[in-house]
Structures are given as structure tokens and as C-alpha cells.
């Protein structure tokens, strides 16, 4: 495969970042269908590789193990693939190497949501998100704001507030065509 730096913008992987529960997987899958591209959910790939769920991995192996697996998987993906739609875990951009590889080799889309809207989804997402366990709502808000600063490193911001996943996916496809 030729040096990935030479890959034209339109063939680069499209990477979705954003806070837990914003809809990266659902929206990513829809965008992939609309563009007839392969979809990769990084957390699901890690779960398959290690044959355990993310909460099990946090519990049995620890967060550091998960972060290493996450970094290895994403950096390799950025450097060796193209034309994929990729959904990242919400904490992936904490790692400088992941952030750098994605921004250099891929088109990074930040799926944004307001705190008020996100808060309403909490009940349905908390169980499978170990990072949220044992945090008060104020601590979750602090994390939400901290992460938002981290997501500031992106190519395009996509607003998801008051939109169905399908509408967001259409917005993304339009933005990619215009871009």
C-alpha cells in the first residue's frame, strides 16, 4: 500500500469522536451505509479481539490495559487503512498518539451534544460505561466539559442536538460532499 500521507482527502478514513452516548456507533453505521463504506466500531473490535466486554475488561484487566489496546488498534487503523467509517470510544482522544494519528491520516468529525440533552440519556447508557460509575452528576458534568476541550481537535463539528440519528447522518454526508 502506498504511503498513507499521499491518500487523497476523499479516500481517508472518517473518524467519529464525541462523548459517550452521543450516537457515534449508530450514526457511523448509517453514514457507512449511505456512502457504501465499511464501518468499524473500535470498542466492538477490541471486545471481539479479547473476547470480553469493555466493562469486563475494565474490571478484570484495568483501564490501563484497555487504553493500550485502544491505542494499538486505532494507530494501526489510521496508518494502514483507508475509506472506512470509524467510531472511536469517547476517551480515545485523551491519548496524544491517537489524536495525532487521527488528525494526520483521517478526517475527524466531532459529534457534539449539549449537556442538557446528554443528561437525559444517562439512565440508558450508564450501565455499560465504567468511566461513569461512582461519579456524582456534578463530576459527570466536569468530565463532559473536560472532554469537550479534548474534542476541540477535529476537522468538522457536527451538531446532534434535537436531531434524529438519520438526520445527523444526512448532514454528515452533505458536509462531506461539500467539503
According to CB under 6 A, which residues from 50 to 69 bind ligand S3P? 54
If one asks whether residue 91 binds ligand S3P (CB under 6 A), the answer comes out as yes
If one asks whether residue 32 binds ligand S3P (CB under 6 A), the answer comes out as no
Radius of gyration of the chain (CA): 16
Q: What is the 3-state composition of the chain as percent helix, strand, coil, each rounded to the nearest 5?
A: 60, 10, 30
Return d(Cα 30, Cα 20) in angstroms, integer.
Answer: 18
Q: Which of 20, 31, 98, 111 binds ligand S3P (CB under 6 A)?
A: 20
Using DSSP, state whether 71 is helix, strand or coil: helix
Contact predicate 25/18, CB 8 Å: no
If one asks whether residue 43 binds ligand S3P (CB under 6 A), the answer comes out as yes
Q: Which of 26, 53, 95, 130 binds ligand S3P (CB under 6 A)?
A: 130
Q: Which of 13, 15, 16, 24 binds ligand S3P (CB under 6 A)?
A: 24
> How many other β-carbons are positioned within 10 Å of the β-carbon of residue 40?
20
According to CB under 6 A, which residues from 95 to 124 bind ligand S3P? none
Q: Which of 12, 99, 105, 129 binds ligand S3P (CB under 6 A)?
A: 129
If one asks whether residue 74 binds ligand S3P (CB under 6 A), the answer comes out as no
* Least distance to ligand S3P, CB of residue 27, Å: 11
Burial class (CB in 10 A: 0-12, 13-18, 19+), 66: buried
Binding site for ligand S3P (CB under 6 A): 20, 24, 43, 54, 89-91, 129-131
Amino acid at each position: 500500500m502506498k504511503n498513507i500521507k499521499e491518500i487523497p482527502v476523499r479516500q481517508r478514513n472518517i473518524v467519529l469522536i464525541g462523548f459517550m452516548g452521543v450516537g457515534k456507533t449508530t450514526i457511523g453505521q448509517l453514514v457507512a451505509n449511505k456512502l457504501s463504506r465499511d464501518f468499524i466500531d473500535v470498542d466492538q473490535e477490541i471486545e471481539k479481539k479479547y473476547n470480553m466486554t469493555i466493562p469486563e475488561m475494565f474490571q478484570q484487566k484495568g483501564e490501563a490495559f484497555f487504553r493500550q489496546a485502544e491505542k494499538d488498534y486505532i494507530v494501526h487503523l489510521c496508518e494502514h487503512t483507508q475509506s472506512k467509517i470509524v467510531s472511536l470510544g469517547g476517551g480515545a482522544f485523551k491519548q496524544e498518539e491517537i489524536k495525532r494519528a487521527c488528525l494526520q491520516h483521517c478526517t475527524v468529525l466531532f459529534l457534539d451534544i449539549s449537556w442538557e440533552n446528554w443528561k437525559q440519556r444517562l439512565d440508558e447508557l450508564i450501565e455499560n460505561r465504567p468511566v461513569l460509575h461512582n461519579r456524582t452528576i456534578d463530576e459527570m458534568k466536569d468530565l463532559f466539559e473536560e472532554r469537550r476541550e479534548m474534542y476541540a481537535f477535529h476537522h468538522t463539528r457536527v451538531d446532534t442536538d434535537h436531531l434524529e440519528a438519520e438526520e445527523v447522518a444526512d448532514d454528515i454526508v452533505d458536509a462531506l460532499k461539500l467539503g
